[in-house]
Amino acid sequence: MALNPGTYQVGRMADCWLTLDDDLVSRYHARFVVSAGSLEVEDLGSRNGTYVNGRRLEGRIKLADADQVRIGREIISVLGPGGSDASDDADDSLRRTLGPGEETQFPTLIGQLVEKSLKVGKIKEAERYALALTNQLMGARVPGDHPTAVSCVRCLVALAEKTSSGVWLDRAFKLHASHGWLMRDDVKKQVLVALDRIPRVPGTGLEEYEQALRQMTKDGVDVPPQLVATIAELSDAYGGA
């Protein structure tokens, strides 16, 4: 996903664009500045410094395609927007971003981090990563069977079950509604399991998804009637802002 013009802070604080649970990272460690045709990074007086291609950053510099920014133990690689073809649009919309990891697969890596954090019981860390992944997908046009979409939905449902919080299910339903995804049978089963521990799903995600499915049906999309019925039942039983 291409970043819109603006500033993006990285640090340990929850209100950062990218929150890193790393003792080498300062509360507000560095800032990326995006403008038309330009990407810059500056250190915010961090204790351990920000490094660009192995050299400690002084002041603010402009970044180029393939530059690597190290903040704490994380490597953030920069990818330019060029070099794609039509068949790779979905993948490219996710790759044209900033993200931790030398492979520059930001969304894929975050999905793995959510799963790893859940396994070791780091719930707050998993929640921060899941929120970042959801925000990435909300702005990218990808099909429901895209690996990152599948990973994100799986992580959100797993978080809902682990925390007994319907907030994460609401995000999953909003993603489906926003992109017109047909919920997979395995995801429906996971959602039903999670709802055994959740009294309600706050927000408007269920209602939005129910309306989206009905509109898709009117528009001639082959929506399974059972899916419409299931989401309608869930909306009646668990929905509510």
Q: Is 60's pLDDT higher than 80?
A: yes
Residue 94: the pLDDT is: 44
Tens digit of each residue's pLDDT (9 = 90 or more) over 141-156: 788 888 778 888 988 9
- Kindly report the CA angle at 198 between 208 and 158, in degrees rounded to 5? 80
Please state, in angstroms and rounded to a whole number, the distance separating the CA atoms of residues 208 and 128.
Answer: 24
Number of Cβ atoms within 10 Å of the Cβ of 69: 22
Tens digit of each residue's pLDDT (9 = 90 or more) over 169-214: 999 999 999 999 999 999 999 999 999 999 999 989 999 999 999 9
Residue 216 CB partners (closer than 8 Å, separation 6+): 180, 223
Query: Between these two residues, 105 and 59, which has the higher pLDDT value?
Result: 59
Mean pLDDT to the nearest integer, 221-225: 96
Tens digit of each residue's pLDDT (9 = 90 or more) over 109-119: 667 777 778 88
Spatial contact of 126 and 159, defined as CB atoms under 8 Å apart: yes
Q: Is 104's pLDDT higher than 60?
A: no
Provide the CB-side half-sphere exposure for 48 (13 A, CA).
14
How does 43-66 read in b/e, with b if 16+ C-beta sit within 10 Å?
Answer: beebebbbbbeeeebeeebebeee
Please state the pTM of the whole predicted model.
Answer: 0.60
- Kindly report the CA angle at 139 between 135 and 89, in degrees rounded to 5? 125
Helix locations, 164-238, DSSP H:
167-179, 185-195, 205-218, 225-238
Residue 20: the pLDDT is: 83
Query: Between these two residues, 22 and 235, which has the higher pLDDT value?
Result: 235
Please state, in angstroms and rounded to a whole number, the distance separating the CA atoms of residues 196 and 135.
Answer: 27
Please state, in angstroms and rounded to a whole number, the distance separating the CA atoms of residues 132 and 106.
Answer: 10
Averaged pLDDT of the chain: 83
In this structure, the dihedral spanned by the alpha carbons of residues 146, 194, 135 and 239, taken in order and rounded to 10 degrees, is 110
Can you tell me whether residue 8 is helix, strand or coil? Answer: strand
Residue 107: the pLDDT is: 55
Please state, in angstroms and rounded to a whole number, the distance separating the CA atoms of residues 31 and 13.
Answer: 13
Residue 131: the pLDDT is: 81
